[in-house]
Amino acid sequence: MATRFANLRRISALDPVADHEEIVRISAGLEFPWDYQKSLEMALFRTYCVPTISGLLERTGEFERRPQKRYDDTAVLMAELVEHGYDSPRGREALRVVNRQHGRYDISNDDMLYVLSTFIYDPIDWLRRYGWRSLTRNEQLAGFHFYRAVGARMGIKDIPAGYDEFLAFKTAYEQEHFVFAPSNRRIGQYTLDLFCSWYPSVARPVVARAVVAMLDPAMVRAFGFVAPPSWVGALGRRALRLRAFVVRRMPVRKALKLTSTPNRTYPGYPRGYRPADLGATSSTAR
């Protein structure tokens, strides 16, 4: 068990400001690769509860035509930043792709701030509930400083300077902007259908109910979904905690699992690919 916490001891010896890239790389790539992937899936799902965000995504048509590609583009570009660093050659290339895509649309700074905040705080909440351990304060602060630096390089303005201040912004933004809109429902359904497509057809109705059951009530209302019985969510949460119990007793991971995580759009990534190969190819939205 002492070996299981080797990475944690390494993280504890690092500074969450000066060493935030290394801490995030260890946490996301070695300690919690599956949990980070799932928590960021849910974080992006969460942002679609904001009508201005879902409305823009609906106008692009990407979610209707190529939901898997859009999902993979986002996941791989973020993995490039974490694995190689935002100021590395591949990191800068990934950021150019992100900025080029965002620059084609009229996105408010507050919406950009909100999406950025979910990348910081949603993994923290997920791991507190379902991880084999919670993130330490060092890891939480490192995530804040990492994504704050990424946001600055994306041209996002007025990013709060403090961890608690940014969390307060996120909470207030959700309270004000999580309201039902038809675009929320449509983008939410496209995303739910995407999640279900990863499983055999016979299991998809169960998966759909399980995913909705894991959403908090404000999200269910904003999407206009019908909440499943409470026992469905309880069963899902119990399964995730059982997984955490098992993972806690597994050997420590030695190899990073970030850009090498299999995806459905770019087989074999990163071999044979550059970040510039990613991104939407066309759009009608402004």
pLDDT digits (tens, 9 = 90+) for 18-75: 999 999 999 999 999 999 999 999 999 999 999 999 999 999 888 888 899 989 999 9
Residue with tokens 């260890």: 26
Let me know: does 112 contact 156? Beta carbons within 8 Å. yes
Residue 151 has pLDDT above 80, yes or no: yes
Q: How far is CA 77 from the centre of its chain?
A: 11
Kindly report, residue by residue over 184-237, the tens digit of the pLDDT: 999 999 999 999 999 999 999 999 999 999 999 999 999 999 999 999 999 999
Q: pLDDT > 90: what percent of the chain? A: 87
Can you give the pLDDT at residue 63? 85
Instruction: Assess whether pLDDT exceeds 80 at residue 267.
Output: yes
Please give the distance of CA 204 from its chain centroid, rounded to a whole number: 22
Supply 26's token pair.
């260890």
Cα(264)–Cα(260) distance, integer angstroms: 12
Residue 283 has pLDDT above 60, yes or no: no
- Distance separating alpha carbons of residues 88 and 81, to the nearest angstrom: 8
At residue 267, φ and ψ (nearest 5 deg) are -60, 135
Residue 279 has pLDDT above 80, yes or no: no
Rg (CA), the chain: 18
Give the DSSP H/E element, type plus range, for residue 148. helix 137-153
Integer CA distances (angstroms), 241 to 3, 45, 169, in order = 22, 21, 29
Estimate to the nearest angstrom the gap between the alpha carbon of 128 and the chain centroid.
16
10 confidence band (pLDDT: 50, 70, 90): very high
Judge whether residue 259 has pLDDT over 80.
yes
Q: What average pLDDT does the segment 234-260 reach?
A: 95
Sign of the Cα pseudo-torsion (217, 223, 226, 231, in order): negative
Q: Average pLDDT in the 118-140 region?
A: 98
Q: Give the CA dihedral 198, 201, 205, 210, nearest 10 degrees.
A: -30
Of 273 and 170, more confident: 170
Neighbours of 154 (CB within 10 A): 17
Is residue 114 scored above 50 in pLDDT? yes
For residue 267, what is the enclosing H or E element?
Answer: none
- Asked if residue 286 has pLDDT above 50, the reply is no
Predicted pLDDT of residue 284: 38
How far is Cα 275 from Cα 80, in angstroms, rounded to an integer?
A: 8
Residue in 129, 144, 147, 142 with CA at minimum distance from that of residue 11? 142
* Token reading at 162: 């403090």
pLDDT at position 285:
40
Question: Model confidence at 272, in pLDDT bands (50, 70, 90)?
Answer: confident
Mean pLDDT of 128-156: 98
Q: Please tell me what DSSP assigns to residue 31.
A: I
Please report, as a single letter, which amino acid is at residue 223.
Answer: F
Per-residue pLDDT at 85 exceeds 60? yes
Q: In whole angstroms, what is the distance from residue 240 CA to residue 251 CA? A: 19
Instruction: Using alpha carbons, list the distances in angstroms from residue 227 to 45, 58, 204, 232.
Output: 16, 23, 16, 10
- CB neighbourhood size of 124 (10 A): 18
Instruction: Determine which helix (DSSP H) or strand (DSSP E) holds 228, and give its type and residue range.
Output: none
Cα 244 to chain centroid, rounded: 19
